[in-house]
Amino acid sequence: MQAAEGQPILVPTTAADRFQLNADQVEAHWTARTRAVLLASPSNPTGTSLHPQALARIHQAVRRRGGVLLLDEIYLGLSHDDTFGHSGLALGDDVISINSFSKYFHMTGWRLGWLVVPEALVPVIERLAQNLFICPSTVSQHAALACFEADSLAEYERRRAQFKARRDFFIPQLQALDLPVPVIPDGAFYAWADCSAWCERLGVAGSWELAFEIMKGAHVAVTPGRDFGTADTARFIRFSTASSMQQLQSAVDRLRAMRDAFA
């Protein structure tokens, strides 16, 4: 976007829409200079996805205006619900999908991914790539090929099941600790928790200050909401469930002890 001197329009979302855009918002914020809509499904930090019907309505709204729909589907392989675990590419050949080996394939740090674009845009993307990075390293490309071997895919599916088991354990624990999660994540490995009650009890202004208090009082690292925007994020913190089940259980015990200390 910066390379094209684009100016993003950030649109607040709410739990009522699973912390995702809806078609009415797209139409309300579309301007004469708007060219595209960028969505992430599943998203970071909420781990929530767009319902297929909601995504289809957004696609129709964008198409009517001659725009482009770009979908960040980097966490798609880590979907836990068949309702949401489908690529938006099925909507039509005018959709751009952005994906990566980082999440489902556990190659975080290798910085290797791919784009699926309309055929007419391939030369444009190639020229852009030539000026940004030329090509991925040979080592990372060979590692990516190994991802598609049968044994590799079996391991990725086993790990995906583990992520779901961790979510199913951790989310109810947060709810019981007065850290409600307004929308249960259907993908990725995050929990977007409302920390208002904790802020009030500890007398802190918001999640930024609370993150430091939790680190000091429970030795648990959480991410404050302001790292993900400005729309009501002061009352949210993000937990990651990428740690082992044992570590998550330990974190719950520490959080409970801290909660009981100021209850």
Q: Residue 146: is its pLDDT beyond 80?
A: yes
Instruction: Judge whether 96 and 68 are in contact, CB under 8 Å.
Output: yes
How sure is the predictor about 157, in pLDDT bands with cuts at 50, 70 and 90? very high
For the domain made up of 15-137, give the CATH fold.
Aspartate Aminotransferase; domain 2 (3.40.640)
User: How far is it, in rounded angstroms, from Cα 194 to Cα 174?
Assistant: 10
What does the domain layout of the chain look like in residue ranges? 15-137, 151-262
User: How far is it, in rounded angstroms, from Cα 46 to Cα 188?
Assistant: 9
Superfamily of segment(s) 151-262 = Aspartate Aminotransferase, domain 1 (3.90.1150.10)
Estimate the crossing angle of helix 245-262 against helix 150-176, to 10 degrees.
Answer: 10
Average pLDDT over residues 14-36: 96
User: How far is it, in rounded angstroms, from Cα 72 to Cα 183?
Assistant: 20
Closest CA to 208 of 237, 232, 171: 237
| 63, burial (CB in 10 Å: exposed 0-12, middle 13-18, buried 19+) | middle
The verdict on whether omega for the bond into residue 42 sits within 30 degrees of 0, i.e. cis, is yes
> Hey, is 46 helix, strand or coil?
coil
Per-residue pLDDT of 163-212, as tens digits, reads: 999 999 999 999 999 999 999 999 999 999 999 999 999 999 999 999 99
Predicted pLDDT of residue 132: 83
Average pLDDT over residues 30-42: 96
Instruction: Judge whether 69 and 62 are in contact, CB under 8 Å.
Output: yes
Per-residue pLDDT of 91-130, as tens digits, reads: 999 999 999 999 999 999 998 999 999 999 999 999 988 8
Give Cβ neighbours of residue 44 (< 8 Å, ≥ 6 apart): 75, 188, 190, 228
**Two tokens at 25?**
């918002």
Predicted pLDDT of residue 263: 72
